[in-house]
């Protein structure tokens, strides 16, 4: 049963990273199209901490699922 959850969590994490990455890239491209390159520079500025927090929160379910899958795989291998 653990093998099912490990595989399911890894698939979920991969799909989440792909969808979240696509969402982030589409958002950046839409900012570029609507407001220009200067707005993209403002959003991706290292001083824009809110952007980094939002990106981290967006990726967090995938990170958590991957860590949990790795932990379950490690526990399954251990005696």
Tens of pLDDT along 5-49?
999 999 999 999 999 999 999 999 999 999 999 999 999 999 999
Give the Cα-Cα-Cα angle 13, 75, 20 (nearest 5 degrees).
10
Say if residue 79's pLDDT is above 80: no
Counts for the chain of helices (H) and strands (E), in that order: 3, 0
Contact call for residues 10 and 66 (beta carbons, < 8 A): yes
pLDDT on residue 77: 86
* pTM as predicted: 0.89
pLDDT on residue 2: 86
């Amino acid at each position: 049963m653990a093998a099912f959850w490990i595989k399911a969590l890894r698939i979920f994490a991969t799909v989440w990273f792909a969808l979240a990455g696509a969402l982030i890239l589409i958002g950046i491209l839409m900012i570029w199209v609507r407001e220009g390159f200067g707005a993209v520079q403002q959003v991706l500025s290292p001083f824009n901490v809110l952007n980094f927090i939002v990106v981290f929160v967006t990726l967090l379910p995938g990170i958590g699922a991957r860590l949990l899958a790795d932990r379950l795989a490690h526990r399954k291998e251990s005696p």
